[in-house]
Homo-oligomer: A and B are copies of this chain.
Amino acid sequence: MPKPLSHKTIEWVGGLDGQVRMIDQTLLPGECRMISCGDVETLWEAIRNLRVRGAPAIGVAAAFGVVLAIRQATTTRMLFEKLTQAYEYLGKCRPTAVNLYWALNRMRQAAESHRDLPLEQLKAFLLAEANAIRDEDAATCRAIGEMGQALIAEGAAVLTHCNAGGLATAEYGTALAVMYAAHERGRRFRVYAGETRPLLQGARLTAWELANAGVDVTVICDSMAGLLMRQGKVDLVVTGADRIARNGDTANKIGTYGLAVLAKAHRIPFYVAAPLSTFDPALPDGTAIPIEERAAEEVSKGFGRVSVPEGVACYNPAFDVTPAELISGIITERGLIRPVNAAGVEEILKIGPCKAKERR
């Protein structure tokens, strides 16, 4: 699989006294600058301000954040106090992507099941667990690519939205992993990247990744997708996901829902690519997924020039929910969910329909 990124999106550098190093994605594509976070507050700011973003990458960041939070504990009791604080603190950083809670839960469970270890060993174990989350995410993304690549036929045109690439995960990505795996097989296809207002992750990040990997990519404004579809220029849509409810309803970057409606109107298949950590089986459907609203200034002053008159309100929801019936399939590391419904999700997650309450 091509490696479009010369640096890791996010990693832990050094031992327990090390740091979290990441690409500051707010500076791309103009500059690929690495930044380091040595404490949990700095990491929180990096997640909050989208220096690191993308549901799986946020999960990895949160796992490392737990290590930053607990490493100076001088007693096991203090370690668990700090772990609980970090869980609360990081858990409120961004509300929509469930991978963040998934990673925090996994770190907490790892700590609880090893609470009898000597303190320094417990710390080292938690760092190893966080690194494992990162490494597993990379492997998971690679598997998603393999599971989905056959959907992209020779000569196809794929539309994607936002960035569900290597920058949104530990490596490879989710939606883009599918494209990288098809590209690796020598298949030729074209990608249209919706620029993804307000923060332009499609233009800035997806176009950068795909071009670096040698994939043919063209940027469009989000509002151009309808025309492209009507012109017959789109064969399939593939996006990532931030949270998937038990019935397959999928929260993803704002604009995804509109693309799904347009795809259905043009009879174009619409796929979501996501790891199992993006599923939230506690939610029966998408209505309860919290939708983050971000600052108006992201819309009005996004590019160094004021584009909205002083005093005029902007509405800036960061995500929307696409109902399962508009999704042709969900590509996971375990295979494709198709059709998308509760039975399909439960089968992939290997949970029965009665276990819903237990898992909540």
Contacts and interface: CB of A to CB of B under 8 A. Distances in A.
Interface of A: 29-30, 192, 194-198, 200, 203-204, 207-208, 211, 217-228, 230, 254-255, 257-258, 261-262, 264-265, 299-300, 302-317, 320
Copies in the complex: 2
15 contacts: A204-B308, A211-B309, A218-B312, A219-B299, A221-B222, A223-B223, A224-B254, A224-B255, A225-B258, A226-B257, A226-B258, A228-B315, A258-B258, A262-B262, A304-B305
Contacts of A29: 306-310
A7 B175 CA distance: 50
B299 A207 contact: no
A294 B300 CA distance: 24
A302 B315 CA distance: 21
A203 to B, nearest CB: 5
A78 to B, nearest CB: 44
A196 B224 CA distance: 10
Nearest to A192: B315
A204 B258 contact: no
Q: What 4 pairs across the A-B complex have the smallest Cβ distances?
A: A303-B303, A223-B255, A226-B258, A197-B221
Contacts of A217: 312-313
A interface SS class: mixed
Contact of A198 (B198, B221, B255, B302): B221
Contacts of A258: 223, 225-227, 258, 262
A14 to B, nearest CB: 31
Given A303-B302, A303-B307, A218 B313 contact: yes
Contacts of A222: 197, 221-223
A223 B2 CA distance: 31
Contacts of A219: 299-300, 308, 312-315
Given A194-B223, A203-B299, A224-B255, 16 more contacts: A29-B307, A30-B305, A195-B307, A196-B223, A217-B313, A218-B312, A218-B313, A218-B315, A221-B255, A223-B223, A224-B317, A226-B255, A226-B257, A227-B258, A265-B265, A303-B307
